[in-house]
Chains A and B, each alone.
Chain A
Amino acid sequence: MTRGRINRRQALKLMGAMGAGPFLAAGGRIPPAAAGGPAGRVVVVGGGFGGATVAKYIKRFDPAVEVTLVEPSRRHFTCPFSNLYLGGLYQFDALGHGYEELVSRYGVQVVHSMADDVDADGRTVRLAGGETLSWDRLVLSPGIDIRWGELEGYTRAAAEKAPHAWQAGPQTHLLKKQLEAMEDGGTFILVAPDNPFRCPPGPYERVAMVANYLKSHKPKSKILLLDAKDNFSKQGLFLDGWRKNYGDMIEWVGRSQDGEVVRVDADRLEVETEFGTTHKASVLNVVPPQRAGFIARRAGVTDASGWAPVEPRTFASPRVEGVYVIGDATEAAPMPKSGFCANAQGKVTAAAIVADLAGVDGPDPSWANTCYSTVAPGYGISVAGVYGIREGHIEEISGGVSPADADAAFRRREAEYAVAWYRAITQDTWGTA
């Protein structure tokens, strides 16, 4: 600690050592507990997987900490399982989760507003209405923003014709409507980005779920997946699963086979690849390049990559004191940008903040991830991992993908577990299953 801040424990040690006692407590930057108020004030921006979890778990670890969650929506609609909605396997309404339990059961204060700006020196957050909230610790879990225009031609306006559906809501409905209006025998094109991006297996589950819909409604149609990468998550399992369930309906074109799209013409539903091939779609779904939500940039926690680097143990920002970042907005490789990881990070960071406010060292962190992908009804695959710290870096301690040679029963169980997982994590995050 070299930046002039001392925590409660250090202050106490110091007091003990110097026999000085109360004088320091009055002058130093000591959390409000010293003054007999709450054990500290935490503001959390974003009520998605990371934000809702960190708010709840801070309260579970120490109810005396005051927690305010800032989130514009009254219900958060999740990206997880939105592919299953597109595939006709899940109801859209079941993707929505409210904040009632966080308020009534855990005592989190929820403010439905957008955080507009962060004043790191004054330790405040300004809300869209102009109001400000002050904090002792700030947690940002704003998810992703699209890098509009980074992929030539892919602007906000273009997304109204060629949806991304990478943030659940109106975009998901738009894509579903376009699928329903598509002629039998048409071509669905999905454009997949280079790393890093939200949900590495997401594009591959998406085409599987689109295939599931097309198979029973428009069986003559084709799916073309144009990819800016040559390797992707659970590749062998997906290629095998697509073939087994959908024959040759899905064609994947990797970067070295000229799969990287460099220009989008949303009016014509055309895309152009790196080496100049033009593909025409009936429905065009572009998963564009991304970066951390804008509030992370406002707070100054992001670097040139557009993501927020974090201190591995706590996910505190190494750039801005008192600010923590979790979820998709972080660069936390090898952890993927998944809802599961955002939730797991929320818990570790909740423990770190509670410990920090109490003036003690936080626990050695441990995070986990399991990403289920539903390839077809009764056919699920997964990748799982446990992460910890080795030599100062986050590393995968254990993990792997489902076996390549698993039998039908195994795939069926993983499909069932996917649904059970979704219900459990939404219960764990928002209290609504």
Chain B
Amino acid sequence: MYRSLAVLLSGLMLVAAPVWAGAPPWERVEAVQNVLDGETPVRGAIHLDLPLVSRDGSAVPLTVEVDSPMSEDDYVASIHLFAVSNPYPEIATIHLTPRMGQAKVATRVRLNESQRVVAVARTNTGRVYADAREVRVTVAGCLARDATYDSDTLMLARVRAPERFSAGEPGEVTTLINHPMETGLRKNGDGNLIPRRIVHRVAASVGAETVMEAELHRSVSADPYLRFFVAPVEDGTLTVRWDEEGGESAVREESLRLR
């Protein structure tokens, strides 16, 4: 019985259907419904990738990619990420532009428990795509998370871009800022709530043009990490800016050079 169920389940997971058989996985998730705004998304053009099993729910790697030409006429305008069983399911909303060249973003997320992660993408032409993944989170006693955050490097930001780009070809940029992303839901040793403190916005621009902007929520892991693409057409400077909610900002610049 158990075996046949497992076989059935693994069989189901292998089938990439363009539409959801049965109830879609976000059916009762209000945050997702708000983003869908009554529309029915399709599968197939969007690929969400997370490990099947994670041994550390505090930082689960997530990659989402949408098949798109990312041209001025046809590009992915936004990607919305949700961890449906977290106390606040929103992970992040990423606003994309044709200047990225590729609709692929990676980050690390907090998963309170085993659950479903959902990604919804919307194109400039109004098409809506969605994908979902089940992640099993196991907690082992040996990985008790340290409650204190080392503040020596608070707001220290890092950016890495490829040394050379080919004109108009996307190259991957990696960014990270040291920040606790305090949810406001955790208690310290004395039983008092640790005040909420999060970086709520990361924006990347080249010159005056915005390349990418991300709104981060509490389900993004501490030390927010974001990888995305940029496709420069000429030499320039990439500016990445992180803003704390009602607090400080950090800015890093990185030169983009063509071959």
Contact = CB atoms under 8 A, between A and B. Distances in A.
State if A and B touch, Cβ cutoff 8 Å.
Answer: yes
Interface of A: 1-3, 195-196, 200-201, 229-236, 255-258, 274-276, 303-305, 311, 313, 316, 318-319, 331, 333-334, 336, 371, 383-385, 392-396, 399-401
B174 A305 contact: no
Nearest to B55: A195
Interface stretch (B1-9, B65-73, B92-100, B189-197): B1-9
Interface in B127-151: 136, 138-146
B178 interface: yes
B2 A230 contact: no
Contacts, number: 100
A135 B83 CA distance: 45
A400 B141 contact: yes
Interface of B: 1-4, 6-7, 10, 51-56, 58-59, 136, 138-146, 153, 158-160, 174, 176, 178, 222-223, 225
Contact of A318 (B7, B140, B158, B222): B7
Given A195-B55, A276-B160, A333-B138, 6 more contacts: A1-B4, A196-B53, A275-B160, A305-B53, A318-B6, A396-B141
Contact of B10 (A200, A318, A385): A318
A290 to B, nearest CB: 14
B7 A230 contact: no
A1 B1 contact: yes
B55 A334 contact: yes
A385 to B, nearest CB: 6
A319 B223 contact: no
Contacts of B143: 231-233, 235
A275 B54 CA distance: 24
A356 to B, nearest CB: 12
A236 B158 CA distance: 26
A63 to B, nearest CB: 28
Contacts of A319: 10
Contacts of A255: 223
Contacts of A304: 52
Given A236-B146, A305-B52, A231 B58 contact: yes
Contact of A333 (B6, B53, B178): B53
17 contacts: A200-B142, A231-B143, A231-B146, A232-B143, A235-B143, A257-B153, A303-B52, A305-B51, A305-B53, A311-B6, A318-B3, A331-B53, A384-B141, A393-B136, A394-B138, A399-B140, A399-B141
A285 B6 CA distance: 40
A196 B56 CA distance: 10
A253 B140 CA distance: 22
